[in-house]
Amino acid sequence: MSFEYHEPTSLAEAVDLGARFGADARFLAGGTDLIIQMRRRKIAPRHVVSLRRVPGLDAIEANGAVRLGALVTHRALERYPGFHGPLRALVEGAEVVGGHQVRNAGTVGGNIVNASPAADVVPVLLALDATVTCVGPDGERTLPLDDFLLRPGETAKRADEVLTATTFAGLPPRSATAFLKAGRRRAMEISVVCVAAQVTLDGSGERCVRARIALGAVAPKTWRARDAERALENQPLDPATLREAGRLAAAGCQPISDVRASGRYRRLLVDTLVQRALARCVERVRGQRP
Amino acid sequence: MSKIDLSLSVNGERHEVRTEPHRTLLDVLRTDLGFTGTKENCLEAECGVCTVLLDGAAMNACILLAAECQGREVLTIEGLAREGGLHPLQQAFIDHGAVQCGYCIPGMILAAKAYLDEHPSPTEAQVREALAGNLCRCTGYQKIAEAVLAAAGELASRRT
């Protein structure tokens, strides 16, 4: 590793540095991916621009809509009191990442930009219809997270843009989320499959008004199981409907076989975990005080 | 590459270091400042032997640039024992035979300290989860967990 180090103290200064160095520069957040990729010589930026002194990037704002600054750590997500209710999947996704040391360093923004198909918090954000905001020399733009993610390690972020935040609308009443992960062991493990679900029930608590299902490690990028979602809308969420959703998600995903699991096993996991995550959402909605 | 001047606060003392910007906190601690209690192994934030506390939070020093640590407080294993003797965690590790080859122990103790600072009376399952980022290849986890629980008890009794 060999590079010039920059520590801008404003977003404007960070954007200027990005514009000046373009693809020769990388923005540094928690470093849990970037520093390792540099040490493995996968990338060799000549300039590293730390974002740690840019004010406000580590802020969580939750008043109706939720805005997570790019430097919000996994640890901060776990601890944020407002995420222990209907948004609990954010906590569940964050708390299975690495060990405490990695969660103290690794950030939401870095997790998104790293674009690992096996990221744990990204499916949760996808299930919440999150958008991503980037600021570059031409100003600010906001795009859906689903469009921002392209393929392993690649996003729509331009080299001279800083990802500043991810944002999503607050959930309507009678909503819940859940996140489940299958790994070969419980800690410090890359997901074999992970699933995030979001469900909103109607006033009777029977029919599904809205469903979102996002899956990690089953496609080149974090993937929304839209066929399965459609099969749930306006349906009563009985076991047969959940089984159909699991079947559709398993049929639609494109898992690879690798050292962690075979593609066939991943499909079986998808079928089961989708049903379980949806059932957990339903339980959670019904457990809420009216 | 040009060098940069860093002013690092380690174990409550200021250290001035002139170094290349790519060097990690682990590098600077061990090579420039002689704090070799912070161990080096995987260099990929997997094993936890390089754990230090940065502003009280457990971090892997192998993936932290030294430059990122300016203005923050670093605690290494050397800073844990006060004049009064060993920290209760250190004493408990000795008393419970939790140290085998010893290589993972500084990281284990610091990760445990960060956890106990915020969760003074954990269960054994919580202790094990708190140490998930620290590998012991002698596989002495049982005695390590027992030592951390004993230290938690000792720390609690000192508070009352």
pLDDT single digits (tens) A109-138: 999 999 999 999 999 999 999 999 999 999
Q: In chain A, what are the domains? A: 4-50 (3.30.43.10), 60-168 (3.30.465.10), 175-285 (3.30.390.50)
Q: Are B59 and A101 a contacting pair at CB < 8 A?
A: yes
Write down the pLDDT at residue A276: 98
CA A77/CA A250 separation, integer angstroms: 29
CA B51/CA B115 separation, integer angstroms: 13
Read off the DSSP letter of residue B20.
Answer: -
Give the closest of B24, B58, B63 to A32, CB-based. B63
Write down the pLDDT at residue A188: 80
Write down the pLDDT at residue A290: 62
Q: Are A2 and B22 a contacting pair at CB < 8 A?
A: yes
Contact B7, B15 (CB under 8 A): yes
User: Which chain B positions have a beta carbon within 8 Å of A7's beta carbon?
Assistant: 67
Beta-ladder partners of A176 = A199
Closest among B85, B95, B105, B72 to B153, alpha carbons compared: B95
In the predicted model, what is the mean pLDDT of residues B3-32? Answer: 97
If you search the block for the tokens 């270091």, which residue do you land on?
B17
Main-chain phi, psi angles of B26, to 5 degrees: -60, -50
- Using a pLDDT cut of 70, give the percent of chain B over it: 99
Query: What ipTM was assigned to the predicted interfaces of this complex?
Result: 0.96
Distances from the Cα of B95 to the Cα of A114, B13, B84, B120, B130, angstroms: 44, 30, 17, 20, 21
Q: What is the pLDDT of residues A146-175, one digit of tens each?
A: 999 999 999 999 999 999 999 999 999 999
Give the closest of A28, A50, A99 to B133, CB-based. A99
CA B111/CA A278 separation, integer angstroms: 35
Is the pLDDT at A206 greater than 70? The verdict is: yes
Write down the pLDDT at residue A204: 87
In the predicted model, what is the mean pLDDT of residues A282-290? Answer: 88
Q: What is the pLDDT of residues A44-69, one digit of tens each?
A: 999 999 999 999 999 999 999 999 99
Is the pLDDT at A195 greater than 90? The verdict is: yes
Is the pLDDT at B84 greater than 80? The verdict is: no
> Which H or E element spans position B6?
strand B4-10
In the predicted model, what is the mean pLDDT of residues B69-73? Answer: 95
Closest among A208, A145, A144 to A176, alpha carbons compared: A208
CA A168/CA B119 separation, integer angstroms: 32
Q: Are A99 and B132 a contacting pair at CB < 8 A?
A: yes
Contact A195, A277 (CB under 8 A): yes
Write down the pLDDT at residue A142: 98
Write down the pLDDT at residue B8: 97
Statement: the pTM of the whole predicted model exceeds 0.90: yes
Write down the pLDDT at residue A107: 98
In the predicted model, what is the mean pLDDT of residues B108-120? Answer: 97
User: Which chain A positions have a beta carbon within 8 Å of B43's beta carbon?
Assistant: 39
Is the pLDDT at B82 greater than 90? The verdict is: no
Instruction: Show which of residues 60-119 on chain A sit within 8 Å of chain B, judged by CB atoms.
Output: 75, 98-102, 104-105
- Using a pLDDT cut of 70, give the percent of chain A over it: 100
Write down the pLDDT at residue B139: 84
Is the pLDDT at A274 greater than 90? The verdict is: yes
Contact A201, A290 (CB under 8 A): no
Write down the pLDDT at residue A222: 97
- Using a pLDDT cut of 90, give the percent of chain A over it: 93
Is the pLDDT at A185 greater than 90? The verdict is: no
Q: What is the pLDDT of residues B135-158, one digit of tens each?
A: 999 988 999 999 999 999 999 999
Give the closest of A7, A36, A101 to B133, CB-based. A101
Q: What does pLDDT average to over chain A?
A: 96
Phi-psi region of A207 (alpha: psi -120 to 50; beta: other; left: phi over 0): beta
User: Which chain A positions have a beta carbon within 8 Å of B46's beta carbon?
Assistant: 188
Q: In chain B, what are the domains? A: 4-79 (3.10.20.30), 88-159 (1.10.150.120)
Determine the distance in angstroms separating the CA of A174 from the nearest CA of chain B, rounded to an integer. 32
The three-class DSSP label of residue B85 is: strand
Write down the pLDDT at residue A186: 77
In the predicted model, what is the mean pLDDT of residues A183-209? Answer: 91
Burial B1-17 (b: 16+ CB within 10 A, else e): eeebebebebbeeebeb
Closest among A51, A33, A56 to A43, alpha carbons compared: A33
Write down the pLDDT at residue B30: 98
Q: How confident is the model at residue B1 (pLDDT cuts 50, 70, 90)?
A: low
In the predicted model, what is the mean pLDDT of residues B60-69? Answer: 98
The side-by-side arrangement of strands in the sheet containing A25-28 is A4-6, A47-50, A25-28
Chain B residue at shortest CA distance from A34: B63
Write down the pLDDT at residue A183: 87
CA A120/CA A216 separation, integer angstroms: 7
